Structure 1
Amino acid sequence: MQERKWSAKAFAPAHITGFFCIHDHEDKRKKGSTGCGIVLDRGAVTTATYTEELEDTLIFLNGKQVDGNTTRTVVNMLTDIPLLVESVTNMPIGCGFGASGAGALSTAYAVNDVLSLNLTSSEIIETAHVAEVVNRSGLGDVIAQSYGGVVIRTAPGAPQYGDVDWIPAAGKEVLCLALGELGTSSIISDPDLAWRINSMGKGSMKRLMKSPTFETFMQCSQDFAFGTGLASNIVTDIIEAVGSAGGIASQAMLGESVFVTVGPDRREAVIEALSEFGEPSAYYLNNCRAGLL
């Protein structure tokens, strides 16, 4: 083995899914989701540190020690050497921004580098994807976070099985209002809800591929949120208020959160509408992707 570095740092961006289909499979590498989402300019920065004093792997999130099951699974899949894993995020946790996927993916890149494991990017992405699937914390975020932009997941699974396409889109401001969490594990494990999700998701994908524009993505996402019944009363109220202000909004899947894109002419009106329900945050859609820092 090559000489180990003492520490390595990596980044993975936030990702919001607009609509999706669940694809189950016994092989965790082939399990995942299809659908479409957007990658944002914020995310998770993870530092992996090796020191001889450590007896067990320790995981910290924003300065607080946590179980970090998905991140721990990544470490355990890659090594039996204890590591200190510290992730710092500047996005909401558990609200549909792909935080667990960003943590898993940035951890995989950092661990690979600090221990000189010499894995390819596909192997690193596969590790993070499988960790998400095993812990039921996500199905498609890791793939999207590996590419950036407006990502259409056309086939499910890790890189050698999954496939993606893109909607060309210039950088756009994305206003977000995060209200709380939805239980990803319970939702993707509910047979009745999964049927509704897949029925609406397939229709959304067909519609998007006929007219692959950002505007179609937003409208498909909104229809998906309403059609699946995932949009709560408060989320519905926010989406309708934004529509009255001249914007188009939808729900971040899977979270009790709303995301909005709007032109500069209606920006202030949309912010005013969002502010009736909470304090919105501004992000930017761009082509950043996961990797070492």
Structure 2
Amino acid sequence: MRAFAPGSVTAVFAPGETADQSKGASVAIADGVVADVREGDADESVVTVGGDPTDFDPVELALETLGVSARSDLTAEVPIGRGFGASGAATLATAIAANAEFGLDYSREQLVEVAHRAEVEAGTGLGDVFVQNRGGLVVGDGGEPRKFERETPIEYASFGPIATDEALADDDLMATVAREGSATLDALPDDPTLADLTREAWDFAEAIGLPTDEVREAVADVEAAGGVASMAMVGETVFAVGAEGVLPNRTEVCPEGARLR
């Protein structure tokens, strides 16, 4: 059984009320992850990416929680570990596909929670799956987020990974993220455009000190072409709106969430 989950670009985030929650502003994108799940050959689940076996902790944890031994073959349309929520997309798509493949009868809400808990335990994310479950532009937290339909094209370029688990474990960084992220989210308009969000997100990225020289150069190129750009959280990745042909990759907002294929 195959399922797809969109990638997600988090523009702004801050810790939530508990350690396993976050709040933020993110957009689901049409480029994502496909999981092809079927019964495994042994008592231990196997995960592959592009045909190569790999350790993929959140996917394995989700399958364990669902109580199945399975093979999940992942096809990633976005780079893994570079701010596209690939681990969340892989985990959510796997959970949805496994539920159908094995006739588990979990509700959609339960599957999202399984994927979220697996991400938290693995240290790979705090809220991507909530965005990937809904699609669109999502602002808020996992409990009561606001979803906005948007059709603005998005360009992006990725230069390298930033370890999410290390960033989330950096107490000084997270204290700054909590302060600056909350202030940025509070400053967003009630009905934000992607340009509004991206503009505010760049101020946030600079305030927390994550942009590298390559990121700054790409953002400057987009701004010189009349667009706005910022940095994906968390990865050495730039996303942009309002410019065409400046960055090498072009996608669009995914209006709906994860689903069987």
Distance 1:256 1:292 in 2: 30
Distance 1:253 1:201 in 2: 11
Say whether 1:75 aligns with 2:63.
Answer: yes
Say whether 1:259 aligns with 2:239.
Answer: yes
Distance 1:122 1:208 in 2: 28
Deviation at 1:286, TM superposition (A): 2.8
How has the CA–CA distance of structure 1 residues 211 and 43 changed in structure 2, closer, same or farther, with 3 Å as cutoff? closer
Say whether 1:102 aligns with 2:79.
Answer: no
Say whether 1:22 aligns with 2:8.
Answer: no
Determine which of 212, 228, 236 is the counterpart of 1:248. Answer: 228
Deviation at 1:62, TM superposition (A): 1.1
Say whether 1:180 aligns with 2:166.
Answer: no
Contact kept? 1:41, 1:288, Cα under 8 Å: no
Say whether 1:39 aligns with 2:20.
Answer: no
Deviation at 1:138, TM superposition (A): 0.5
Which residue type is aligned with residue 66 of structure 1? T
Provide Cα deviations, 1:158-202, integer angstroms capped at 9, x if missing partner. Answer: xxxx22102332x22111101110010111111110011111111
Deviation at 1:211, TM superposition (A): 5.5
Give the match's secondary structure for 2:134.
coil
Say whether 1:49 aligns with 2:38.
Answer: yes
- Specify the alignment match of 1:58 in structure 2: 46
Distance 1:214 1:261 in 2: 7
Give the match's secondary structure for 2:153.
strand
The runs of at least 4 consecutive aligned structure 1 residues that moved more than 3 Å come to none
* Aligned-residue CA RMSD (Å): 1.5
Deviation at 1:24, TM superposition (A): 6.1
Distance 2:228 2:69 in 1: 47
Provide Cα deviations, 1:60-95, integer angstroms capped at 9, x if missing partner. Answer: 11110001111000000111x421111111111111
Once the two structures are superposed, the pairs formed by residues 135-284 of structure 1 within 5 Å of their partners are 135-152=122-139, 154-156=140-142, 162-169=143-150, 171-210=151-190, 212-262=192-242, 266-268=243-245, 271=246, 274=247, 280-284=248-252
- Specify the alignment match of 2:259 in structure 1: 291
Distance 1:106 1:167 in 2: 22
Distance 2:102 2:149 in 1: 37
Count of residues in correspondence between the two structures: 261
- Specify the alignment match of 1:4 in structure 2: none
- Specify the alignment match of 1:9 in structure 2: 2
Distance 1:24 1:36 in 2: 16
Contact kept? 2:138, 2:147, Cα under 8 Å: yes
Provide the TM-score with structure 1 as the length reference: 0.85
Distance 1:18 1:149 in 2: 13
Distance 1:83 1:214 in 2: 39
Which residue type is aligned with residue 41 of structure 1? A
Unaligned runs of 5+ in 2: none
How has the CA–CA distance of structure 1 residues 118 and 242 changed in structure 2, closer, same or farther, with 3 Å as cutoff? same
Distance 1:133 1:25 in 2: 12
Contact kept? 1:172, 1:286, Cα under 8 Å: no
- The answer to which of 209-218 and 17-26 deviates more is 209-218
Provide Cα deviations, 1:209-234, integer angstroms capped at 9, x if missing partner. Answer: 45633322111111111111011122
Provide the TM-score with structure 2 as the length reference: 0.95
Rg larger for:
1
Deviation at 1:291, TM superposition (A): 1.4
Which residue type is aligned with residue 217 of structure 2? D
Give the match's secondary structure for 2:7.
strand
